[in-house]
Amino acid sequence: MKAAVVSRPDQPPVYGDFETPVAAFGEHSIAVTAAALSPLVRGRASGSHYSASGKFPFVAGVDGVGRLGDGRRVYFALPEAPYGSMAERAVIPAAQCLPLPEDLDDVTAAAIANPGMSSWAAFKERAGLVAGETVLVNGATGTAGRLAIQIAKYLGARKVIATGRNPEALRSLAALGADVVISLEMEAATFEEAFREQFAQRVDVVIDYLWGQSAERLLTAAAAAAGDAVPIRYIQIGAISGGGIHLPGAVLRSTAIELKGSGIGSVPPSRLLKAIEELLQATIPGRFAIATQAVPLSTVEAAWNAKAGLHRTVFVNPR
Protein backbone atom coordinates (compact mmCIF):
# COMPACT_ATOMS: atom_id res chain seq x y z
CA MET A 1 0.00 0.00 0.00
CA LYS A 2 0.99 3.65 -0.35
CA ALA A 3 1.78 5.51 2.85
CA ALA A 4 3.66 8.43 4.43
CA VAL A 5 6.78 6.56 5.52
CA VAL A 6 9.12 7.97 8.19
CA SER A 7 12.60 6.50 7.76
CA ARG A 8 14.61 8.85 9.98
CA PRO A 9 13.83 11.63 12.48
CA ASP A 10 15.59 14.43 10.63
CA GLN A 11 13.55 14.11 7.42
CA PRO A 12 9.85 14.49 6.59
CA PRO A 13 7.85 11.39 5.64
CA VAL A 14 8.09 10.20 2.07
CA TYR A 15 5.15 8.93 0.02
CA GLY A 16 6.07 5.36 -0.77
CA ASP A 17 5.28 1.69 -0.38
CA PHE A 18 4.73 -0.01 2.97
CA GLU A 19 3.47 -3.46 3.85
CA THR A 20 -0.33 -3.59 4.02
CA PRO A 21 -1.57 -4.46 7.53
CA VAL A 22 -3.77 -7.52 7.93
CA ALA A 23 -6.71 -7.46 10.34
CA ALA A 24 -6.84 -10.07 13.10
CA PHE A 25 -9.84 -11.14 15.16
CA GLY A 26 -11.49 -8.14 16.80
CA GLU A 27 -9.90 -5.66 14.41
CA HIS A 28 -11.24 -3.58 11.53
CA SER A 29 -9.49 -3.07 8.22
CA ILE A 30 -10.21 0.55 7.29
CA ALA A 31 -9.93 2.29 3.92
CA VAL A 32 -8.49 5.61 5.10
CA THR A 33 -10.04 8.74 3.61
CA ALA A 34 -8.52 11.51 5.78
CA ALA A 35 -5.76 11.93 8.36
CA ALA A 36 -4.71 15.24 9.92
CA LEU A 37 -1.24 16.65 10.54
CA SER A 38 -0.99 17.74 14.19
CA PRO A 39 1.85 18.72 16.54
CA LEU A 40 1.57 15.24 18.07
CA VAL A 41 2.06 13.63 14.64
CA ARG A 42 5.06 15.88 13.94
CA GLY A 43 6.52 15.19 17.37
CA ARG A 44 6.28 11.43 17.01
CA ALA A 45 7.78 11.55 13.52
CA SER A 46 10.75 13.63 14.71
CA GLY A 47 11.17 11.58 17.88
CA SER A 48 10.74 14.67 20.07
CA HIS A 49 7.37 13.75 21.61
CA TYR A 50 7.49 11.82 24.87
CA SER A 51 5.30 9.07 23.36
CA ALA A 52 7.60 8.48 20.35
CA SER A 53 8.92 4.91 20.05
CA GLY A 54 12.19 5.86 18.33
CA LYS A 55 11.91 2.85 16.01
CA PHE A 56 12.11 3.30 12.23
CA PRO A 57 10.67 2.97 9.63
CA PHE A 58 7.02 3.54 10.41
CA VAL A 59 3.91 5.10 8.93
CA ALA A 60 3.11 8.61 10.21
CA GLY A 61 -0.22 9.55 11.76
CA VAL A 62 -2.02 8.76 14.99
CA ASP A 63 -5.67 8.98 13.96
CA GLY A 64 -7.96 9.46 11.00
CA VAL A 65 -11.25 8.81 9.29
CA GLY A 66 -12.18 6.01 6.93
CA ARG A 67 -14.66 3.39 5.84
CA LEU A 68 -15.23 -0.16 6.95
CA GLY A 69 -15.90 -2.96 4.50
CA ASP A 70 -19.66 -2.41 4.81
CA GLY A 71 -19.32 1.31 4.01
CA ARG A 72 -19.77 2.70 7.51
CA ARG A 73 -17.72 5.83 8.24
CA VAL A 74 -15.61 5.77 11.39
CA TYR A 75 -13.05 7.82 13.24
CA PHE A 76 -10.13 5.67 14.43
CA ALA A 77 -7.16 6.24 16.72
CA LEU A 78 -3.77 4.81 17.65
CA PRO A 79 -2.87 2.19 15.05
CA GLU A 80 -0.28 -0.25 16.36
CA ALA A 81 3.30 0.55 15.31
CA PRO A 82 4.82 0.48 12.80
CA TYR A 83 1.52 1.38 11.15
CA GLY A 84 -0.08 4.82 11.20
CA SER A 85 -3.10 6.62 9.84
CA MET A 86 -1.41 8.34 6.86
CA ALA A 87 -1.81 5.41 4.52
CA GLU A 88 -4.28 3.82 2.16
CA ARG A 89 -5.32 1.33 4.83
CA ALA A 90 -5.18 0.98 8.60
CA VAL A 91 -5.98 -1.89 10.95
CA ILE A 92 -7.54 -0.87 14.25
CA PRO A 93 -9.10 -2.74 17.19
CA ALA A 94 -12.87 -2.35 17.04
CA ALA A 95 -12.86 -0.60 20.44
CA GLN A 96 -10.72 2.21 18.98
CA CYS A 97 -13.21 3.06 16.23
CA LEU A 98 -16.07 5.53 16.61
CA PRO A 99 -19.06 6.01 14.31
CA LEU A 100 -19.27 9.46 12.77
CA PRO A 101 -22.38 11.67 12.79
CA GLU A 102 -23.94 11.68 9.32
CA ASP A 103 -23.66 15.46 8.95
CA LEU A 104 -19.97 15.65 9.91
CA ASP A 105 -17.69 15.42 6.88
CA ASP A 106 -14.49 13.36 6.82
CA VAL A 107 -12.02 16.26 6.58
CA THR A 108 -13.56 18.22 9.47
CA ALA A 109 -13.77 15.11 11.64
CA ALA A 110 -10.12 14.23 11.00
CA ALA A 111 -9.00 17.82 11.60
CA ILE A 112 -10.93 18.54 14.79
CA ALA A 113 -10.45 15.30 16.74
CA ASN A 114 -6.94 15.85 18.11
CA PRO A 115 -6.93 19.61 18.82
CA GLY A 116 -10.50 19.56 20.09
CA MET A 117 -9.87 16.57 22.34
CA SER A 118 -6.98 18.38 24.02
CA SER A 119 -9.26 20.91 25.69
CA TRP A 120 -12.36 18.69 25.92
CA ALA A 121 -10.39 16.11 27.95
CA ALA A 122 -8.66 18.83 29.97
CA PHE A 123 -11.97 20.46 30.91
CA LYS A 124 -13.90 17.28 31.66
CA GLU A 125 -11.27 14.77 32.81
CA ARG A 126 -8.69 16.94 34.55
CA ALA A 127 -10.31 20.25 35.50
CA GLY A 128 -13.87 19.14 36.15
CA LEU A 129 -15.21 22.35 34.59
CA VAL A 130 -18.54 23.43 36.05
CA ALA A 131 -21.04 25.61 34.19
CA GLY A 132 -20.72 29.25 35.26
CA GLU A 133 -16.97 29.16 35.91
CA THR A 134 -14.28 31.37 34.37
CA VAL A 135 -11.67 29.84 32.07
CA LEU A 136 -8.33 31.25 30.93
CA VAL A 137 -6.82 29.78 27.76
CA ASN A 138 -3.09 30.50 27.57
CA GLY A 139 -2.12 30.22 23.91
CA ALA A 140 -5.50 30.69 22.28
CA THR A 141 -4.47 31.75 18.77
CA GLY A 142 -3.54 28.30 17.44
CA THR A 143 -5.96 25.68 16.20
CA ALA A 144 -6.30 23.93 19.58
CA GLY A 145 -6.57 27.20 21.50
CA ARG A 146 -9.26 28.59 19.22
CA LEU A 147 -11.26 25.40 19.69
CA ALA A 148 -10.70 25.59 23.46
CA ILE A 149 -12.52 28.93 23.58
CA GLN A 150 -15.50 27.51 21.71
CA ILE A 151 -15.56 24.31 23.74
CA ALA A 152 -15.33 26.17 27.05
CA LYS A 153 -18.40 28.20 26.12
CA TYR A 154 -20.23 25.10 24.88
CA LEU A 155 -19.53 23.36 28.21
CA GLY A 156 -20.97 26.32 30.10
CA ALA A 157 -18.10 28.65 30.97
CA ARG A 158 -19.44 32.06 32.00
CA LYS A 159 -16.32 33.95 30.95
CA VAL A 160 -13.35 33.03 28.77
CA ILE A 161 -10.03 34.90 28.89
CA ALA A 162 -7.71 34.28 25.94
CA THR A 163 -4.00 35.03 25.52
CA GLY A 164 -1.71 34.92 22.52
CA ARG A 165 0.93 36.74 20.50
CA ASN A 166 -0.40 37.00 16.95
CA PRO A 167 -2.20 40.39 16.76
CA GLU A 168 -4.38 39.44 13.79
CA ALA A 169 -5.40 36.14 15.35
CA LEU A 170 -6.10 37.82 18.70
CA ARG A 171 -8.54 40.20 17.04
CA SER A 172 -10.56 37.24 15.75
CA LEU A 173 -11.03 35.56 19.14
CA ALA A 174 -14.01 37.60 20.32
CA ALA A 175 -16.09 36.15 17.48
CA LEU A 176 -15.27 32.67 18.81
CA GLY A 177 -16.49 33.52 22.32
CA ALA A 178 -13.54 35.14 24.11
CA ASP A 179 -14.73 37.78 26.57
CA VAL A 180 -11.25 39.16 27.39
CA VAL A 181 -8.17 39.05 25.16
CA ILE A 182 -4.66 39.64 26.55
CA SER A 183 -1.63 40.07 24.30
CA LEU A 184 1.54 38.32 25.44
CA GLU A 185 3.54 40.94 23.54
CA MET A 186 2.80 43.70 26.05
CA GLU A 187 5.52 45.08 28.33
CA ALA A 188 6.10 42.78 31.29
CA ALA A 189 4.60 45.12 33.89
CA THR A 190 1.45 45.74 31.83
CA PHE A 191 1.12 42.08 31.03
CA GLU A 192 1.40 41.04 34.67
CA GLU A 193 -1.06 43.72 35.81
CA ALA A 194 -3.60 42.47 33.25
CA PHE A 195 -3.25 38.95 34.66
CA ARG A 196 -3.55 40.12 38.27
CA GLU A 197 -6.72 42.03 37.41
CA GLN A 198 -8.33 38.93 35.92
CA PHE A 199 -7.30 36.66 38.79
CA ALA A 200 -8.59 39.22 41.29
CA GLN A 201 -11.99 38.94 39.58
CA ARG A 202 -11.70 35.13 39.82
CA VAL A 203 -10.34 32.52 37.45
CA ASP A 204 -11.39 28.93 38.09
CA VAL A 205 -9.60 26.98 35.33
CA VAL A 206 -6.46 27.68 33.30
CA ILE A 207 -5.56 25.50 30.34
CA ASP A 208 -2.07 26.18 29.07
CA TYR A 209 -0.79 25.36 25.60
CA LEU A 210 2.39 27.44 25.98
CA TRP A 211 4.13 26.79 29.32
CA GLY A 212 7.48 28.65 29.54
CA GLN A 213 7.65 32.30 30.62
CA SER A 214 3.96 33.08 30.22
CA ALA A 215 3.12 30.21 32.60
CA GLU A 216 5.55 31.62 35.17
CA ARG A 217 3.87 35.01 34.95
CA LEU A 218 0.39 33.50 35.09
CA LEU A 219 1.18 31.52 38.22
CA THR A 220 2.89 34.50 39.87
CA ALA A 221 -0.09 36.73 39.06
CA ALA A 222 -2.44 34.14 40.53
CA ALA A 223 -0.44 34.16 43.78
CA ALA A 224 -0.31 37.97 43.89
CA ALA A 225 -4.09 38.24 43.42
CA ALA A 226 -5.00 35.44 45.82
CA GLY A 227 -7.66 36.67 48.21
CA ASP A 228 -10.24 34.19 49.40
CA ALA A 229 -8.15 31.15 48.42
CA VAL A 230 -10.44 30.30 45.51
CA PRO A 231 -9.04 27.05 44.07
CA ILE A 232 -7.48 27.45 40.61
CA ARG A 233 -7.21 24.30 38.49
CA TYR A 234 -4.21 24.84 36.24
CA ILE A 235 -4.00 22.26 33.44
CA GLN A 236 -0.80 22.09 31.39
CA ILE A 237 -1.43 20.71 27.88
CA GLY A 238 1.39 21.95 25.62
CA ALA A 239 4.86 23.47 25.82
CA ILE A 240 5.22 25.61 22.70
CA SER A 241 7.10 28.31 24.62
CA GLY A 242 9.43 26.01 26.54
CA GLY A 243 9.63 22.64 28.25
CA GLY A 244 10.36 23.96 31.73
CA ILE A 245 9.55 26.84 34.05
CA HIS A 246 11.03 28.45 37.18
CA LEU A 247 8.37 28.13 39.85
CA PRO A 248 9.07 29.62 43.30
CA GLY A 249 7.72 27.44 46.08
CA ALA A 250 5.96 30.48 47.56
CA VAL A 251 3.58 30.51 44.59
CA LEU A 252 2.21 27.11 45.57
CA ARG A 253 2.19 27.86 49.30
CA SER A 254 0.32 31.14 48.89
CA THR A 255 -2.24 30.05 46.32
CA ALA A 256 -5.01 27.44 46.38
CA ILE A 257 -3.86 25.96 43.11
CA GLU A 258 -4.04 22.49 41.61
CA LEU A 259 -1.34 21.99 38.99
CA LYS A 260 -1.96 19.09 36.60
CA GLY A 261 -1.14 17.90 33.12
CA SER A 262 -3.51 16.54 30.50
CA GLY A 263 -2.49 14.20 27.70
CA ILE A 264 -1.45 10.67 26.83
CA GLY A 265 -0.61 9.02 30.15
CA SER A 266 -2.45 11.38 32.50
CA VAL A 267 -5.77 10.42 30.91
CA PRO A 268 -6.34 6.70 30.10
CA PRO A 269 -6.66 5.94 26.36
CA SER A 270 -10.27 4.81 26.81
CA ARG A 271 -11.15 8.17 28.37
CA LEU A 272 -9.35 10.11 25.63
CA LEU A 273 -11.37 8.15 23.07
CA LYS A 274 -14.54 8.95 25.01
CA ALA A 275 -13.61 12.63 24.94
CA ILE A 276 -13.19 12.47 21.16
CA GLU A 277 -16.53 10.70 20.79
CA GLU A 278 -18.29 13.44 22.78
CA LEU A 279 -16.44 16.13 20.82
CA LEU A 280 -17.40 14.68 17.43
CA GLN A 281 -21.04 14.41 18.48
CA ALA A 282 -20.98 18.05 19.65
CA THR A 283 -19.15 19.54 16.63
CA ILE A 284 -22.23 20.29 14.52
CA PRO A 285 -24.63 21.26 17.38
CA GLY A 286 -21.88 23.42 18.90
CA ARG A 287 -21.01 24.99 15.54
CA PHE A 288 -17.31 24.55 16.29
CA ALA A 289 -15.25 26.38 13.71
CA ILE A 290 -11.96 24.96 12.42
CA ALA A 291 -10.16 25.99 9.25
CA THR A 292 -8.91 23.06 7.18
CA GLN A 293 -6.72 22.52 4.15
CA ALA A 294 -7.18 19.19 2.39
CA VAL A 295 -4.26 17.96 0.26
CA PRO A 296 -3.54 14.59 -1.40
CA LEU A 297 -1.51 12.16 0.71
CA SER A 298 0.84 11.84 -2.26
CA THR A 299 2.04 15.41 -1.55
CA VAL A 300 3.02 14.65 2.07
CA GLU A 301 6.70 15.48 1.66
CA ALA A 302 6.04 18.97 0.30
CA ALA A 303 3.09 19.70 2.59
CA TRP A 304 4.71 18.44 5.80
CA ASN A 305 6.72 21.60 6.48
CA ALA A 306 4.57 24.08 4.58
CA LYS A 307 3.24 26.92 6.72
CA ALA A 308 -0.48 26.33 7.13
CA GLY A 309 -1.28 29.40 9.26
CA LEU A 310 -4.56 28.86 11.08
CA HIS A 311 -5.48 25.93 8.83
CA ARG A 312 -5.17 22.31 9.92
CA THR A 313 -3.64 20.27 7.08
CA VAL A 314 -5.53 17.07 6.31
CA PHE A 315 -4.12 14.42 3.98
CA VAL A 316 -6.76 12.68 1.88
CA ASN A 317 -6.85 9.56 -0.26
CA PRO A 318 -8.88 9.35 -3.47
CA ARG A 319 -12.11 7.40 -2.97
Domain covering 2-103+289-316, topology: Quinone Oxidoreductase; Chain A, domain 1 (3.90.180)
User: What local confidence, expressed as pLDDT, does residue 65 receive?
Assistant: 98
Sign of dihedral through CA atoms 137, 166, 175, 279? negative
Banded model confidence at residue 73, pLDDT cuts 50, 70, 90: very high
| DSSP one-letter code for 263 | S
User: Whose CA is closest to 4, among 50, 44, 51?
Assistant: 44
Q: What percent of the chain has pLDDT over 70?
A: 96
The class that CATH gives domain 115-261 is: alpha beta
Banded model confidence at residue 51, pLDDT cuts 50, 70, 90: low
Higher pLDDT, 54 or 80: 80
User: What local confidence, expressed as pLDDT, does residue 112 receive?
Assistant: 98
User: What local confidence, expressed as pLDDT, does residue 140 receive?
Assistant: 97
What is the number of residues in the chain? 319
User: What local confidence, expressed as pLDDT, does residue 240 receive?
Assistant: 83
Banded model confidence at residue 227, pLDDT cuts 50, 70, 90: low
SS3 call for 267: strand
Please give the order of strands across the beta sheet that includes 134-138: 180-183, 159-164, 134-138, 205-208, 232-236, 257-261
User: What local confidence, expressed as pLDDT, does residue 253 receive?
Assistant: 84
Weakest mean pLDDT among 5-14, 92-101, 110-119: 5-14
Domain ranges of the chain: 2-103+289-316, 115-261
Per-residue pLDDT tens for 156-207?
999 999 999 999 999 999 999 999 999 998 887 888 889 889 998 999 999 9
Asked if the model's pLDDT at residue 307 lies above 90, the reply is: no
| Residue 108: Cβ within 10 Å count | 23
Banded model confidence at residue 263, pLDDT cuts 50, 70, 90: confident
Asked if the model's pLDDT at residue 230 lies above 80, the reply is: no
The dihedral region occupied by 242, where left means phi > 0, alpha psi between -120 and 50, and beta the remainder, is left
Q: Is-contact 210 238, C-beta < 8 A?
A: yes
Burial (CB count <10 Å: 0-12, 13-18, 19+), residue 66: buried
Higher pLDDT, 112 or 12: 112
Mean of the per-residue pLDDT values of the chain: 92
Note the pTM of the prediction, 2 decimals: 0.92
Q: Residue 240's beta-bridge partner residues?
A: none
| Residue 55: Cβ within 10 Å count | 9
Q: What's the CA gap between 214 and 74, in Å, rounded? A: 39
Q: What's the CA gap between 16 and 182, in Å, rounded? A: 45
Asked if the model's pLDDT at residue 300 lies above 90, the reply is: yes
Banded model confidence at residue 308, pLDDT cuts 50, 70, 90: low
Asked if the model's pLDDT at residue 302 lies above 80, the reply is: yes
Asked if the model's pLDDT at residue 53 lies above 70, the reply is: no
Q: What's the CA gap between 294 and 221, in Å, rounded? A: 41
Q: What mean pLDDT is predicted for residues 203-216?
A: 94
User: What local confidence, expressed as pLDDT, does residue 72 receive?
Assistant: 96
User: What local confidence, expressed as pLDDT, does residue 277 receive?
Assistant: 97
How is 147-177 classified by DSSP, letter by letter? HHHHHHHHTT-SEEEEEES-HHHHHTSGGGT
Strands 292-296 and 312-316: parallel
Q: What mean pLDDT is predicted for residues 25-52?
A: 86
Per-residue pLDDT tens for 117-143?
999 999 999 999 999 999 999 999 999
User: Whose CA is closest to 101, among 276, 284, 270?
Assistant: 284
Higher pLDDT, 10 or 205: 205
Q: What's the CA gap between 144 and 119, in Å, rounded? A: 7
User: What local confidence, expressed as pLDDT, does residue 89 receive?
Assistant: 97
Q: What percent of the chain has pLDDT over 90?
A: 71
User: What local confidence, expressed as pLDDT, does residue 52 receive?
Assistant: 62
Q: What's the CA gap between 41 and 109, in Å, rounded? A: 16
